[in-house]
Structure formats: C-alpha cells, structure tokens
Structure 1
Amino acid sequence: MIHAPRGAVEFRAVRKNYGSFTAIPDLNLLIEPGQLVTLLGPSGCGKTTTLRILAGLETPSSGSIHIGGQDVTRLPANRRDVTMVFQSYALFPHMSVLDNIAFGLESVGKNTAETRKIAMQGLELVGLSGLGNRLPSELSGGQQQRVAVARALVLEPQVLLLDEPLSNLDARLRRRVRTEIRELQQRLGFTAVYVTHDQDEALAVSDRIVVMKDGVIAQDGTPRELYEAPASEFIADFIGEANVIDCEVLAVDTGQARVRISDQQLTLPARNAAPGPARLAVRPNAFGVSQDGKGLAGKVLSSAYLGDHIEYEVDSIAGRLFVVDSENKTAAPVGTNIRLQLRSGGIALIA
C-alpha cells in the first residue's frame, strides 16, 4: 500500500544570491505535515527559486532547509526524499503509462514484481486503472498530469513538489484537474508545495497561500484570509483583483471602524486603523449598480455582457473602477450616469 508523504518543511533564514543580485533576502517559512501550501506571485518574485532550493536543484547562499526534522541543506536532490511534478510532466513518450510510473521505482532498486504491484496501486490511486498499457500520447492532458502525480507518489517521498503543474492545460481542463489534485491531496493527506502564478488556481487548491514579492513573503494565510483581509494594496490587487479607493475613518471602537465613502457609511474590521484618511480594497462584485439613489457617482466607460454578469469600467469620483454586476441583466450603455452602492462584503481596510 502506498503511504502518503507527510513530512514538515522549514526554511530557516534562507538567502539566495546570484552574484551581486539577491533573489531571496531572508526566508523563514514553516509548512506543517499534510498541508498543501502554494507559493504565489508574479514573475521574478522568488517562488520558483524557493522551490528549486527545496528540491536541491539550487544551493542557498546561507540559512538552512529542514525536511521531516532533518537538515538537508547540503544533501543532493536524490537524497532529500522529495519528488517533483514538472510543468512539462516529463513522461517518456515511448513507454507505457505503467512503465512511466514504474521507472522511478526501478531506479531505486525495487524488484520487478514489487515495482509492478506498486505501479498498479499508483494508477488506481489517481483513477486511471485499466489505462496502464496506453502510451502517454493516447491520454488527455489531464490524464497525463495524473500519471505524473502517480509517478511521484509511488516513491513515497516526505514532500511532493508541484511546479506550475497545470500551465500546459486549457482553461476548462485546468479547472477540472486542479479539483482532482485537491481532492487527491485531501484524501491522502500528503504534504505538498505548489508553485503557480495563477491566483484562481491558488485559491482553489491551497490550505495556505504564501504570496511573494521581490523574494520576500508579502502575506501568508488561508485563501479566505488573503481574499477577505489583504494586508496591502499589492495583495488586494494580486489576489482576486480589487479597486483601491480613498475613504475616511470616522471612529474606531472595539475593533470596528466606522468608514465614510462619499455619502455612504460602513462598519468594517478596523485592522489597526486610526481615525483619519485611509484606503479601502473593494472587490468588483461589492458594488450595487443603479441609475439613481445614493452611492459613488460615476459614468460608464465600457460594458461587457458575460452571460451571468455584466462587467463595467466606470469613471467615478473615486477614480476608475472595475465593477461586476450580477443582478441586472441589461447593461447600461456607455456614457450612462450611474450610482455605485457599497455592500458589506468584499470590502477591507488596507495599510
């Protein structure tokens, strides 16, 4: 029986220099056993370098890496007890699915009978029983991805690493396969470190998301924490998109702030805010759209009907805003004067 990898991972004051350039200045991060933690950020933020250091493909300039309580900083990649699922899947095209899964087992000295038995278990694990004799080219992209995951899991590493594992799939297949990966991780409870630049993907699969910027952790938390309580304008805009608008904090009492925006007032978690000027992160679907009443005054610059909602670009007294309207079925024409009412959800005070 295949046992799920469940080792803890810890980065202790890890630094990575490339000549005079510092890619990662000082990384401290603990990943608990059985968690799926996603490293998320724009290109050049340090997430791939962090994963490669963990895999043993890069050596840190200083600091240490610990897997399952063992210091592995100076161990080569093949002695770290981790396996990686690559962006390209790296399946052997001339070998059957079963032989692809068995390849790693054979390389570590398992005998033929044992290798075949474990490889069959790996196929069953990812829902591909009966497809072992096919070539990778005879499978869909999603099935190939599952073969790559099975090949990694049968080695029973302490940690499974996934490097942009869905980037080669189309949008619809990406949604399905990310659900399959999450369901498999939750069922088996394995420890995984997942790298992506796709915010929706990170929100869908993660126990925790570590957002990186310039090699530094910008925020670390659950998907809900990052979406509903972004720590900065960068996080608010990077996780799920947000409009950042000026407001005034009128009063703070017992952790709640009374906030004024134009002719509206809201009560929000204070998040260390003090009375005076402040800023809000407002999700696009946190606006109600009407052509009269209270709210931010604005004019429609563009509109797009997308079936179950309408997207607007609005020139308002608070600046240019992106608005998603799921209530009205007919788009207001370009040039229409509208009012935007702020709802209670999808709004947060930010630093």
Structure 2
Amino acid sequence: MNMTSPGSVVFENVRKTFGAFVAVPDLSLTIEPGTLVTLLGPSGCGKTTTLRMLAGLEHPSAGRILIGGKDVTMLPANERDVSMVFQSYALFPHMTALDNVTYGLESSGVKRKEARERAEDGLTLVGLAGMGSRLPAELSGGQQQRVAVARALVLGPQVLLLDEPLSNLDARLRRRVRTEIRELQQRLGFTAVYVTHDQDEALAVSDRIIIMKEGQIAQQGAPRELYDAPASAFIADFMGEANVVSCDVVGIEGDNATINVEGLEHRVPGRNVRVGSAQLAIRPNAITLAPRQSTSPFNGQITHAAYLGDHVEYEVKTTSGTLFVVDAVVETPFAPLTDVAIGFKERGIAIIGG
C-alpha cells in the first residue's frame, strides 16, 4: 500500500472561542513529520477542540494551521490531506469490513477495482487478511478498531488523527491495540496526532506528549522526560500519581541538587533550581519503608495497607502530610499503625515549580 510522504503540522497562535467561552486562547506548536504526538489532558482541556481544528471539523477564531507547509486554516475537512479514526469507529453496520475500507477510496474517485485491491492491502496491513467479508457485528471490538484504522490509512494521508481510539475497549485489549497502532506507525512512518486522557496510553505510544490545561500547553516533551522531570504539581500528578511535599534545597552541584525533607537528605536532578524552599514530587514507588529506628530522620505511621497481589499500597501519615506508597515487597507487609522510617530511591523524585 502506497503512503503519502508524512507531513508536518504547525499551529501558529491559534485561538478558538465558542461565544464567550475561550476553548483555546493562544496555541503554537509544531509536530515533525513521521512522529506520533499525543495531546493529553483532562476533560475540557482543549485537546479534542485542537484535533477537530486540525481535521477541519472546526475553524480557528484566529491564527493559522499548516499541514505539510500548506495553509489549511479555512479549508473544509475533505480538502485536507488528513484521515481521522473516531472514538466510535463510525463503521457502516450494513457493509462488510472490506466495503467499509473501500468506501472512502471510491468516494475520493478511485476506481472500484483499484479501491478494492487497496482496501484488501489495508486489511492485511492491520492483521485482518481474510476477514473482509465479515460485517462489523461479526468482529470483536479490537478488530472493528483495526478496520477503522485501515480505512483511514488506505487514503494515504499526510497526517493520521486518532481521537480517543481505544476508549471503547477493555483494559487488556487496549494494551494490545495500542501496541499494534504504535508498531504500525513506526513501520510505515506516518505522522500521527493522538488524543487521549489516559496517561499510560500516552506513555506507551508517543514520541512526544503535549499536556494541555485550559487550552494551553502545560508542558511537552518525550514520555520519560515528562514522567521524570514534571514542571509542576499538575504535571506530576497527571503523569502518574505523585506525592507533593515541601523541602529545602540545601546544595547544588552541576545538574544535581541536595534536598532535605524532615532531616532526610537526598540528591535529585536539579537543573535551574535555587537554594531555598521548594516543592518535591515523589512517585509512590520511589518511597522505601523500613522499621522505625531511633536515628531515622523521616518517620511516619501506616494508616492503611492494601495487598494487590504483586504489590502493597500504603497510606503513611507524616508531619509532611499523608504519603501514598507502592511497595513491591509483599512477603512481609507492614500492618496498620506500624511506625516506619521513610527513605527515597534514586529515581522518581523531582523538584517542581509548583
């Protein structure tokens, strides 16, 4: 199956209002060709509005949108070189899988014989060879999703848009299908813009994640960068749970800083930080627990313990607030009301901006 060369995406000072409501106040971003970029954020953050403007389903109130260097700001959806995979799949229930994939090609003026050949190639590409004669009702949710992806890909778009594509699947199937989408994108090298509110999904599929808050970019970067070095308490908590506590930065050496929490000193990444009071984001699995000793500087008491098979979840009351802890040591769990000493692991701790 022939694919169009992947296109870049550029938003230049894009603004979108609905009456008095400002959905996107001023958005500027660039997506490089051949990358999968995820727009991530809570409901109402502007990510879906941004995707719909890129698709041509909404038009900006101000600013410009370029695809492959071409200004498409006011072009209708059918004149943009993009394809969209919808949350609902939007398959025609009375058409076979092959006919669903063929439909868009024929609507674009491709002759029926060529359209069916390309549609069969598309189904093979997504692992559905030999299933073209089945109706959507005869396919599983994951197979229906793959038909929707094939239908979008056979059009050879510069950019593939995916709007919450896995939200209708169960947890286990979501993991498998997101892997398939990522492998397909890497193999074919198309540009993809992916919208989700699921942090695990974003971490698993993305070259770059753009976290949005109130229509603006809160932070963007590679998945590991956002997880390991969140810029704020909002980012730290959104990209997986985080305990936010006060600390003192007591020393800086190169790109590392020494912090002090309740007398416990620890070295953490500390680029562009200053000596003095700060906030610390601590991942639940970055905290260690041990029996309390008279010399332990940072102590707490277990208030809740829950065994979950491969780990134990604790709530630990401290003078810095209640900490949520995930501990992989399941053989000898701590009982509630146990006094414990608190320590930190090397990774999973970051100084944040607030």
Report the alpha carbon displacement of residue 252 of structure 1 after superposing the two structures with TM: 1.5
Task: Count residues with an aligned counterpart.
Answer: 351
1:305 paired residue number: 307
Report the alpha carbon displacement of residue 185 of structure 1 after superposing the two structures with TM: 0.7
Change beyond 3 A, Cα 1:4–1:145: farther
2:347 paired residue number: 345
Aligned letter for 1:305? Y
Cα shift readout 1:137-189 (whole Å, capped 9, x = no counterpart): 11111111111000000000110000000000111111111111111111111
Moved more, 25-34 or 249-258: 249-258
Q: Secondary structure at the match of 2:66?
A: strand
> TM-score under structure 1 normalisation?
0.98
2:16 paired residue number: 16
Residue pairs, 1:213-252, within 5 angstroms? 213-252=213-252
Residue pairs, 1:90-109, within 5 angstroms? 90-109=90-109
Cα shift readout 1:296-315 (whole Å, capped 9, x = no counterpart): 31111211111111011111
Residue pairs, 1:62-73, within 5 angstroms? 62-73=62-73
Separation in structure 2 between the aligned mates of residue 131 and residue 321 of structure 1, nearest angstrom: 51
CA RMSD of aligned residues (A): 1.1
Separation in structure 2 between the aligned mates of residue 265 and residue 15 of structure 1, nearest angstrom: 46
Change beyond 3 A, Cα 1:297–1:105: same
Aligned pair 1:327/2:343, yes or no? no
Separation in structure 1 between the aligned mates of residue 308 and residue 143 of structure 2, nearest angstrom: 30
Contact 1:159 / 1:191 at 8 angstroms: preserved in 2?
A: yes
Separation in structure 2 between the aligned mates of residue 60 and residue 108 of structure 1, nearest angstrom: 26
Aligned pair 1:58/2:58, yes or no? yes
Contact 2:307 / 2:330 at 8 angstroms: preserved in 1?
A: no
Q: Following TM superposition, where does structure 1 have runs of at least 4 consecutive aligned residues deviating by more than 3 angstroms?
A: none
Aligned pair 1:183/2:183, yes or no? yes
Separation in structure 1 between the aligned mates of residue 172 and residue 273 of structure 2, nearest angstrom: 41
Change beyond 3 A, Cα 1:205–1:4: farther
Q: Secondary structure at the match of 1:45?
A: coil
Separation in structure 2 between the aligned mates of residue 151 and residue 124 of structure 1, nearest angstrom: 12
Separation in structure 1 between the aligned mates of residue 20 and residue 269 of structure 2, nearest angstrom: 43
Contact 2:292 / 2:299 at 8 angstroms: preserved in 1?
A: no
5+ residue gaps, structure 1: none
Contact 1:228 / 1:346 at 8 angstroms: preserved in 2?
A: yes
Separation in structure 1 between the aligned mates of residue 338 and residue 268 of structure 2, nearest angstrom: 31
1:165 paired residue number: 165
Residue pairs, 1:144-163, within 5 angstroms? 144-163=144-163
Percent identity, please: 64
Report the alpha carbon displacement of residue 210 of structure 1 after superposing the two structures with TM: 0.2
5+ residue gaps, structure 2: none
Moved more, 269-278 or 224-233: 269-278
Report the alpha carbon displacement of residue 4 of structure 1 after superposing the two structures with TM: 5.5
Separation in structure 2 between the aligned mates of residue 152 and residue 52 of structure 1, nearest angstrom: 16
Aligned pair 1:110/2:110, yes or no? yes
> TM-score under structure 2 normalisation?
0.97
Separation in structure 2 between the aligned mates of residue 296 and residue 198 of structure 1, nearest angstrom: 34
Contact 2:41 / 2:47 at 8 angstroms: preserved in 1?
A: yes
1:206 paired residue number: 206
Separation in structure 2 between the aligned mates of residue 192 and residue 143 of structure 1, nearest angstrom: 20
Contact 2:288 / 2:343 at 8 angstroms: preserved in 1?
A: yes
Separation in structure 2 between the aligned mates of residue 254 and residue 152 of structure 1, nearest angstrom: 49
Contact 1:271 / 1:349 at 8 angstroms: preserved in 2?
A: no
Residue pairs, 1:257-296, within 5 angstroms? 257-293=257-293, 294=296, 296=298
Separation in structure 1 between the aligned mates of residue 228 and residue 297 of structure 2, nearest angstrom: 22
Change beyond 3 A, Cα 1:27–1:95: same
